[in-house]
């Protein structure tokens, strides 16, 4: 807790899904000041706004979560915007952090930065062993360049910057809008709506064969706070749950938990994405004592319950 005492902390993207939980973690640690910049006031794609944000906050610690994100469909529709927005925000924030004398910057990357055919479990050393899966490569590569920047700035300027790679996240407060949602909220919404409408089937993308690892959002936020406190090395660090599930089994489980009893049909004309995703999480455990705590089924039940209580389309 002494790490945060008297410090001015900025959490970009702190009003978003993951960010709201990170803000709760940091607030509980009682920093001297906590700022959550909003896009209406500071457009982080503009260098002048980033400069002004640092002047207004007098930041000691920056946790950079702000990102332009979405599922496979959103990535396919907006590859240029996903690359530019994510690269330019991070570049400005890291550059101005070193010019402003920030003590530490924590940059959140993405599992999409890993090569498409990385052997599972993904080790941090595998990041440069191939090209990312094509549907989200622009987003993944933009984020990976921020790892290069933090490492380069540590060597040349002595900036304390760390880079964390969370696996796919899920939990309450996620985005359930079909145009941008990731796989878990997308399937939850399809199953709830299909049950309410009495639909005989729901359609899922791809073949169902790929596997994914999912991390409950509160666990991810706790891992980020621990890393900010305890980790200060150039090597990137995976944050995950060390649990892998096929998309087919995931859809079956969500159907069960939402009470949907119809057929699951698979649209193989749509992309599967990366064949496997499972992280080696040993570095996070060894370096700053992080391990996921939330059981996957329990996490899904909490997510579905939150959705049923808070989403107008789920309540009818």
Residue 139 among the catalytic residues: yes
- Return the number of other C-beta atoms located less than 10 Å from residue 245's C-beta: 15
Can you tell me the distance from the alpha carbon of 18 to that of 96, in angstroms, rounded to the nearest whole number? 24
Q: How far is CA 100 from the centre of its chain?
A: 26
List beta partners, residue 202: 264
Reduced DSSP (H G I as helix, E B as strand, rest coil) percent helix, strand, coil of the chain, to 5: 50, 15, 35
| 61 in Cβ contact with 36 (< 8 Å) | no
Q: Which listed residue (114, 139, 216, 260) is catalytic?
A: 139
| 161 in Cβ contact with 102 (< 8 Å) | no
Can you tell me the distance from the alpha carbon of 307 to that of 299, in angstroms, rounded to the nearest whole number? 12
CA atoms within 13 A on the CB side of 27: 9
Scored b (16 or more CB within 10 A) or e, 259-282 reads: ebeeebebeeeebbbbebbbbbbe
Residues forming the active site: 139
């Amino acid at each position: 807790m002494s790490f945060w005492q008297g410090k001015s902390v900025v959490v970009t993207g702190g009003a978003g899904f993951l960010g709201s939980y990170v803000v709760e973690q940091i607030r509980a640690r009682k920093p001297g000041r906590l700022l959550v910049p909003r896009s209406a006031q500071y457009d982080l794609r503009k260098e002048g706004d980033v400069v002004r944000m640092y002047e207004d906050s007098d930041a000691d610690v920056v946790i950079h979560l702000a990102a332009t994100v979405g599922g496979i469909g959103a990535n396919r529709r907006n590859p240029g915007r996903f690359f530019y927005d994510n690269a330019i925000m991070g570049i400005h924030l890291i550059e101005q952090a070193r010019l402003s004398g920030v003590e530490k910057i924590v940059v959140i990357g993405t599992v999409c930065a890993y090569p498409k055919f990385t052997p599972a479990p993904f080790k941090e050393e595998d990041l440069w062993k191939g090209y990312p899966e094509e549907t989200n490569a622009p987003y993944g590569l933009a984020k990976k360049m921020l790892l290069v920047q933090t490492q380069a700035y540590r060597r040349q300027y002595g900036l304390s910057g760390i880079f964390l790679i969370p696996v796919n996240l899920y939990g309450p407060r996620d985005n359930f809008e079909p145009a941008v949602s990731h796989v878990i909220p997308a399937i939850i919404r399809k199953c709830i709506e299909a049950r309410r409408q009495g639909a005989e089937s729901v359609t899922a993308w791809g073949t169902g064969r790929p596997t994914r690892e999912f991390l409950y959002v509160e666990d991810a936020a706790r891992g980020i706070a621990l890393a900010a406190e305890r980790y200060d090395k150039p090597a990137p660090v995976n944050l995950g749950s060390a649990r892998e599930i096929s998309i087919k089994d995931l859809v079956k489980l969500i159907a069960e938990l939402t009470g949907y009893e119809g057929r699951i049909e698979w649209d193989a004309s749509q992309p599967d994405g990366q064949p496997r995703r499972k992280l080696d999480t040993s570095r996070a455990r060894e370096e700053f004592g992080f391990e996921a705590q939330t059981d996957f089924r329990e996490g899904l039940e909490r997510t579905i319950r939150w959705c049923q209580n808070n989403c107008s389309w789920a309540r009818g």
